[in-house]
Chain A
């Protein structure tokens, strides 16, 4: 099955700085890459996603880039704010055969934004 690796596991930045979280995946058939944010004590919630036919997607201060050749994708948060502090998960989804529809998650990145 798919294997998603996520780095770093923890990330501390000063308010206003940028934060970058990187993920790699192993299955070339993966075609959907969402990012989830989980605040303390809450459920994971989708913040942005990208499909394999797109190289970059932006939504205000958040952007995701995808390099299909290298099989990696990244989350970029600009002008970070304390409320961005959370655990972020990347994931990959494949349409291949027996794993059709499954979402494979990275282990998460604890982002802390210091005021």
Chain B
């Protein structure tokens, strides 16, 4: 089954404790992206990647890191989480960068930073 997976789905952590949220897709998609969703603010892009070893900042990259060593994986790293990073996070992928390419979303990761 074609899908985007994220782990963990739920995470409660404390300020400053490094964490990684994994994202994997099995559709051979070039483009992958991370969003955070907060009430009233919609989906804001954190980082995106157009292919292996190619990543770029989105609109809200501060406090996050990403890497794209393999085509299928795009982990999101919070080196020193803070309470303002409490949010719902979505990973997404699509087959290309130009034209109309449906973006498929993962199930989401609900992160709470205490």
- Chain A residues numbered 55-114 whose CB sits less than 8 Å from any CB in chain B: 89, 93, 95, 100-108
Interface contacts (Cβ under 8 Å), in number, total 59
CB closest residue in chain A, given B100: A32
Q: How many residues of A contact B (CB 8 A)?
A: 24
Q: Known interface pairs A101-B31, A102-B58. Does A44 touch B99 (Cβ–Cβ under 8 Å)?
A: no
Which residues on A sit within 8 Å (CB–CB) of B40? 9, 107
Cross-chain contact A101 with B98 (CB below 8 angstroms) = yes
Q: Does A20 contact B (CB under 8 A)?
A: no
| Residues of chain A having any CB pair with chain B under 8 Å | 1, 6, 9, 31-32, 34, 43-46, 49, 51, 89, 93, 95, 100-108
Given A102-B45, A107-B41, 7 further pairs, Cβ under 8 A = A9-B40, A43-B90, A43-B106, A46-B102, A51-B100, A104-B45, A105-B43
